[in-house]
Structure 1
Amino acid sequence: MSQQAVLTHGEMAPDEGKTERHESVSPGEIALAVVIGRTSEFFDFFVYGIASVLVFPKLLFPGAEPLTATLYSFAIFSLAFVARPVGSVLFTEIGRRHGRGVKLTIALFLLGGSTAAISFLPSHAQIGAAAIYLLAAFRIGQGLALAGAWDGLPSLLALSAPENKKGWYAMMPQLGAPFGFLLAAGLFLFFVGVLSEADFLSWGWRYPFFAAFAINVVALFARLRLVVTKEYSESLESQELDPTSIYELLKVDGLTVLTGAFAPLACFALFHLVTIFPLSWVTLFTDRHAGEFLVIEIIGAFVFIAAIVASGLLADRVGRRTVLGSAAVAIGVYSLLAPWLLGGGVNGETAFILVGFGLLGLAFGQSSGALSSIFQRRNRYTGSALTSDLAWLIGAGFAPLVALGFSAKFGLGFVALYLLSGVACTLASLFFARQLATVD
């Protein structure tokens, strides 16, 4: 899935002389490019996530029990998150040697190509276990590409934003998640609704993956239009947002990277527990049709959008870390109700989704920037990318696999424990970050 800028409510503004030189790169232009880019990345992310529940268990593991097949599918799903930190190291060097435009072009074509290649994936019945290995390779390609797609735009957006609207502009990149989910869920809902199961599993599921390549091309040109300009490069340089080596980053700011990776775990754990995991739980253990449940999740995505916008307004009033910490506490309370809601029939499942998406939006809207001010300025570009990759790996990469596997064996109470562990990590990280800031 997509990299988040790690920027905070209290960033220092650039000096006035440098700001005047770069007036042609406005926050509005940056925001538009960021939202388009993040929407394309999250669309790819959710197309694969939904297919990992509705398609791949039957297509690649036809001889396994439905639960086992879905767990195998979720294991492949996790490979992209494992690959992302590796991708950050690889593409950081590409960017340093060949420039941001080359890096971004390679990354987005790799992302779109890997996603489009999945649309041609043969079934297990056609080529046997080779189909599983092919899907794993394409999934790793997606993970590497998502890391390389980091362009520094969210960082520049937050630093270019008016001082009294840092939270508002920080939430804008996060809108890509619900927009991407709406597109992906809407396409699958259409094909699940109009096709027979045989036709859907034969060819219908492939169309969302075709669409992903086209959306990535549009996003590529929208972002390159800004990234390759002289004004953009000068703006990054004026903010000292050039990429640094991973070695230098970890040597100077390794503790900050580790702290930042744990800061958003409450919302990252919730992220998959209201999108991918409940779809698998409902299709495996209830009689509810996947299409009907996708409708509820689409409604939840609109709640997600509203909550992200609200997080920006609140952050500019009370501070970003306050919003993130308060949302984590609310997620902790919600986690205690989650097993009862998800196991409570249609009404309980609906409440689980809608309340969960609302809390997710409040936390996710400000999760991208709780700790940036602790980074040394020259390390913010690379530090933001690597911190985000590690946070997604630790907090979300294995969430569907772990939640489904343990819940199936021990009951839905495990969902509460999983969410509470994320809440504890977020609160501990924010406390530790405050100590680091005090020492600085």
Structure 2
Amino acid sequence: MRRRHLLVALGAAWLASRALMLWLLAHDSLGILGGRVGREVWHLYHHWYGVLAHGAFPAHDTLWQYPPGAGLVLLSPGVLPWWTYFQAFVALTVLSDAAVACALAHAGTRPGRTLAGAAVWVGGLPLLVRVPFARYDVQVTALAVISLLALARSTRVCGAFAAVGALVKVWPALVLIGVRRGRDSRSVWSSVALTGASLFLLLVFVFRNPLAFVRQQGGRGVQIESLGGTLLSLATHAGWPGRVHYRYGAMEFTGPYVSSVAHASLALTAVAFGLLLLWRVRARHWTEAVPFDAALSAVLLFTVTSRVISPQYMIWLVGLAAVCLTSRHTTQRPVVALILASTAVSAVIFPVEYGKVIECTWTGTGLMVLRNGMLLAAAVLSYVRLWRATTARAPERAGSCPQALRESRTPASL
């Protein structure tokens, strides 16, 4: 009965919070909200929809920086032709949000699990106000969340969802870093290869220019919301002459040493990948929570070392944090608290105070230091807790060590 009441409360909270988020999105032009966030859907996504509908990816559009699977998400509003593109896109995003909440709630009702994960998603996503419904990251997060939750029952389903997610926005491939070595890992990656190759070949057959995104992605610089961007923002107060310009669909820094910061970010991403491989080799102890914890740690490390930390990236982290809290054995509880706090600050940064961030005022810079400082702390803490929980040697049993064995064979009289 108690669990049933909790489920009812979660359902009511989801309905109330999503109704408020939709109302705010519908009144996106209100000055108090800090600026419009729905423009990306009704302008940019809709434009891409027209290009994709003619069987090609936007090859010469510098804003097209997404893997070919993203085209399927952007075309999906076409299944609701009685609505405008914007209305259909938002409706499908809300359905994806509901799917994540239901999957987490269902996982939380299983023996040994908890509904805390569902509560984190239901309460955490509205911290970004209306932004989640004006981006397609909720759909991508749904694929990653369902992939992780399916692992306990079907490694093939887990791999299939991760493969589709990776073809939509790459990062869901990271959620498989913590799959137990051996048969589970082989099964998951076989499913990833089969599903990913099949879907990619289908997209290549149907659409032209499927790899156009690679060129655009490689040209990106240092976004003002990234960790490197925060350092450059601080540098402006020490006399650095750099400026902020709109490039590749984001506000990026230009000026001396920006390319060095970008290269340093890529180097740190390589280091993060090396740390994850080292953990993978050294890990000895697996529980049901290890794949969840490792997924969150991996995505955190890649997020903080990225040249871009857009507000919608927080959707990924909230989703993975929610998955971790479905298990009572997770090591990531303090990390989840930091993620939720940084998510709330992200909502203040964009769109409310984004002008001050662009202008590198002390207020804007301070907000970025606070948000990215918490994200950096969360990434370090997440990796350290994962490492300690899985690589420490198990204590030897009293009766199994050589010394104990010798003592057990020694006559009491001696």
On whether the aligned pair clears a TM of 0.5, the verdict is no
Highest relative contact order (Cα 8 Å, sep 6+), 1 or 2? Answer: 1
- Point out the structure with max Rg over C-alpha: 2
Scaled by the length of structure 1, the TM-score of the pair is: 0.30
